[in-house]
Amino acid sequence: MEKELYFKDLGLSESILTAIGKKGYEKPSPIQALCIPRLLEGTKDVIGQAQTGTGKTAAFSLPIIDKIECSKNVQAIVLAPTRELVIQVAEEINSLKGKKKLRILPIYGGSNIVHQMKKLKEGIDIVVGTPGRVIDLLNRKNLVLSDIQYFILDEADEMLNMGFVEDIENILQHTPSEKKMLFFSATMPKEILVIAKRYMRDYEVLAVKNKELTTSLTEQIYFEVTRENKFEALCRVIDIEKDFYGIIFCQTKNDVNDIALKLAERGYDADCIHGDVTQSQREKVLKKFKNQTINILIATDVAARGIDVNNLTHVINYSLPQEAESYVHRIGRTGRAGKEGTAITFVTPREYRKLLHIQKVANTEIVKKKLPKVKEILKNKESNFIETIDSSLEMKNYETYNKLAKKLIEKNENIEELLAAVLKVALGDELESDTYQEIEETSFRSDSRGEMSDRGRRSRKEMHDPTLDGLTRLFIAKGNKDGMNVGQLVGLICAKAKIKRNLIKNAQVFEKFSFVSVPFNEAEMVIKAFQQEKVNQGKQSLVEKAKK
């Protein structure tokens, strides 16, 4: 049996241990236990691999805080792929430094560069930044990296995915050859090792073993569905839970937008983030999600990096990721902080082999289950509603409505019918079974070519969606900068043009403009409804047919 490790066993100074203790930390995570002693020794460069939520930031921050002293020049630089991650890392380092008078500065695009230049001139010990802003300040000669002792890449795999290789190499040209290099990543693509061989001298890879990568507190299940039934399956999964609070992962920005639009149409409190969402809009969405103003966030893998939420109930893989390690990275966002969570994966016939590969590589078991039946969901909703009413009766917080209740009772002798009518008004169609579409039972098998097919697949005629025919693409001169998201855009069009939400397809919101697709007749209605609204000093209509 292995001896339990504590932070005091890793070689950290008393001042650092005191700072850690004030935060309530005693035992290091696996990646911290591996990396901290090596970085304190300082004999080799390090590549550390572990999923999000396992304490990678502390793994590299604690040794650096312990080793460097205040100086006029920058002593360490941490590069991260997104502005939010930069802020998060800088805040974490600040919280770990204790009484040590180190100056940490986050630098990223979209913030006041003059303020950053002023701070650098005053003296900064640790810079945390995005590659673009770092290069900008290097070119202006405001940021000097000639004396740094540490060069750190955080989320190195995503830095590569986002095309930052040339930027990283550019920044490295401004650094001394005598420095320690640290790469931290959730996955380990071969490109990271290529860069390591090119720029690191003597390095080692410190990876958390596969069996430790999967969060033990996360229940992992999958549902077999056809592609056209995925959204209906998603709604059932959300509705069967009393207090759903989770992230839905998609492969593409189009899928993210599409699901966000459809969920908004059905009245769910949901929003989305992806690569085309501006930083200001992203921050608004994440604030709403962390405050639980919305309980559903739809995101791509890259956009979700840096989100630090510990109390998620669910992570849903709307589509499987390309890499097994990315799957582990996704599901690691639930089952944190000692709380149980559930990871759900929708698997189509074509994805079944990939699922088997993920289970093998991640050394984990993903259990097959059947989708909740409509009757089961409605029964749960009914039970939850009765529980809510019982709680209200116990708390006696309904006095405001006593007079109204008496008036209704006086006018209606049949109390049962009266209560049913009140429930109908209060719940709408919440307990109506026809709000759910049928999902045909699906099972997979291998065909003669060794590919997966679907016994329950419907005919092509049944699968065809006639609402996708004859669509007109519309351009709307409003975007994120106007406070628009998918839900608000759809709501605006529906209210103004008096058309149904389900007729609006493929909504996309960008910084300064948006697109939607609607059937030909409704497109004319939308254009007519907005014809009096002009932009660009009256030269352009707010809504126009998109140019091909």
Whether 66 contacts 40, CB under 8 Å: yes
> What mean pLDDT do residues 22-42 have?
85
Rounded-to-10 torsion of CA 387, 393, 397, 402? 120
Query: From the CA atom positions of the chain, what is the Rg in Å?
Result: 27
Tens of pLDDT, residue by residue over 355-400, are: 887 887 777 888 999 898 888 888 888 887 888 788 878 877 777 8
Residue 289 falls in which region: left (phi positive, over 0), alpha (psi -120 to 50) or beta: alpha
DSSP string, 294-332: SSEEEEEHHHHTT---S--SEEEESS--SSHHHHHHHHT
Q: Is residue 499 part of a domain?
A: yes
Is residue 384 one of the residues assigned to a domain?
no
- The answer, yes or no, to whether residue 98 has pLDDT greater than 90, is no
Which pLDDT belongs to residue 241? 87
Q: Which residues, at least 6 apart from 465, have a Cβ–Cβ distance to it below 8 Å?
A: 228
119 part of a folded domain = yes
Whether 266 and 362 share a structural domain: yes
Note whether 180 and 230 are same-domain residues: no
- State whether 32 and 143 are in the same domain: yes
Residue 461 one-letter amino acid: K
Average pLDDT of the residues of the chain: 82
Instruction: Please check whether residues 352 and 481 belong to one and the same domain.
Output: no
Residue 137 neighbours by CB under 8 Å, 6+ apart: 107, 113, 116, 117, 120, 129, 143
Give DSSP secondary structure letters for 30-74.
HHHHHHHHHHHHTSSEEEEE--TTS-HHHHHHHHHHHH----SS-
Over residues 163-216, the pLDDT tens digits come to: 888 899 999 999 998 899 999 887 777 778 888 888 888 888 888 764 444 445
Digit-coded pLDDT (tens) for 296-353: 999 987 777 767 777 889 999 998 886 777 788 788 777 665 567 899 999 988 788 7
Regarding whether 21 and 146 lie in a shared domain, the answer is: yes
**Could you list the residue range(s) of the whole structural domain that residue 515 is in?**
466-545
Written as six digits, the tokens of 72 are 């006029």
Could you tell me the pTM of the whole model? 0.50
The per-residue pLDDT for range 108-118, each reduced to its tens digit, is 987 889 999 99
Residues 191 and 222 in one domain: no
pLDDT of residue 464: 36
- Over residues 447-462, the mean pLDDT reads 37
CATH of the domain at 52: 3.40.50.300
What value, to the nearest 5°, has the Cα angle with vertex 507 and ends 501 and 512? 125
CB atoms within 10 A of CB 224: 24
Give the pLDDT band (50/70/90) at residue 411.
Answer: confident
In a domain, 440, yes or no: no
pLDDT of residue 449: 34
Q: Are residues 20 and 36 in the same domain?
A: yes
Q: Which residues on neighbouring strands pair with residue 246, listed in sequence order?
A: 296, 314
Is pLDDT at 456 greater than 80 in this prediction?
A: no
pLDDT at position 229 over 60: yes
Residue spans of beta strands (DSSP E) within 382-443: none
